[in-house]
Amino acid sequence: MDKRILVTYASKHGATAEIARTISDVLAVDGLRVDLLPMDMVSDLSGYEAIVMGSAIYMGRWLKDAVHFLKKYELTLASRPVWLFSSGPSGEGDPVELLDGWRYPILQEDLIRRINPRDMAVFHGKLDPEELGLFERMVIKGVKAPVGDFRDWELVTEWAQGVAAELQSELHTESFSAST
């Protein structure tokens, strides 16, 4: 199988990179050829049949590398199957509810609609004050953000398995298209 899948991410302190690694590992276990790269290391999408991309949520927004990636590769992303994920809310409960319904960066809403992702997931994040700068520690103290690792690895794995199943189905029928 020569078709490759790109899992790419923008991570501020490494937690989103770890989620991307788990997604990549799940896809690879399912027999897919996967490349895992930070977004700022991606220079060409032409060799990829599908893209899974994610960003940390930082102060309610995707990281600049992720926004730049969406804009730079908009036409290519719109022509391939794409899955998006965000990571960042800390605390217990549904991450979308913790973010007051936020599922994707609102400032990029039109762009995301044009790309037409297959799915968009929001995963809990990790907040470790030891990894933060002084300003970030002051902000989390001020907003009383819960500290700890709240990532739900079972949920991440289940989501990645769903992506893998869809990709495998399309690879076997050679029916890759941007939308279903």
Residue 40 located in a structural domain: yes
pLDDT in tens, 114-132: 999 999 998 887 776 676 6
Residue type, 170: E
Q: What is the mean pLDDT of residues 155-169?
A: 94
Residue 180 confidence (pLDDT): 47
> How many angstroms separate the CA atoms of 28 and 101, rounded?
32
Q: Is residue 179 in some structural domain?
A: no
Residue 70 resides in a domain: yes
Residue 180 placed within a domain: no
Domain with 98, as residue range(s), is 4-173
Establish if 74 belongs to a structural domain: yes
Q: For the segment 15-35, what is each residue's pLDDT rounded down to a tens digit?
A: 999 999 999 999 999 789 999
* Number of domains comprising the chain: 1
Q: Beta strands of the chain (E only): which ranges?
A: 4-10, 33-38, 48-58, 61-62, 82-87, 119-123, 126-127, 148-149
Q: Which residue is associated with the tokens 């992506």?
A: 163
What local confidence, expressed as pLDDT, does residue 91 receive? Answer: 54
The CATH number of residue 143's host domain is 3.40.50.360
Cα-Cα-Cα-Cα torsion 43, 172, 86, 109, nearest 10 degrees, comes to 80
Instruction: Check if the beta carbon of residue 20 is closer than 8 Å to that of residue 9.
Output: yes
Flag the least confident range among 12-16, 34-38, 112-116, 170-174: 170-174
Residue 90 has pLDDT above 90, yes or no: no
Residue 20 lies in a domain: yes
Q: Could you count the other beta carbons within 10 Å of the beta carbon of residue 131?
A: 13
**pTM confidence score:** 0.83
Cβ burial 136-147 (10 Å sphere, 16+ → b, else e): beeebeeeeeeb
Q: What is the pLDDT of residue 101?
A: 47
What integer is the mean pLDDT of 6-15? Answer: 92
**Mean pLDDT, all residues of the chain:** 83
For residues 40-46, average pLDDT: 96
What pLDDT digit, counting tens, does each position of 53-84 carry? Answer: 999 887 677 899 999 999 999 999 999 999 99
CB-facing half-sphere around the CA of 111: CA atoms within 13 A: 18
Q: Is residue 178 domain-resident?
A: no
Give helix 15-29 / helix 153-173 axis angle, nearest 10°: 40
Q: Is residue 88 part of a domain?
A: yes
Q: How confident is the model at residue 178 (pLDDT cuts 50, 70, 90)?
A: low
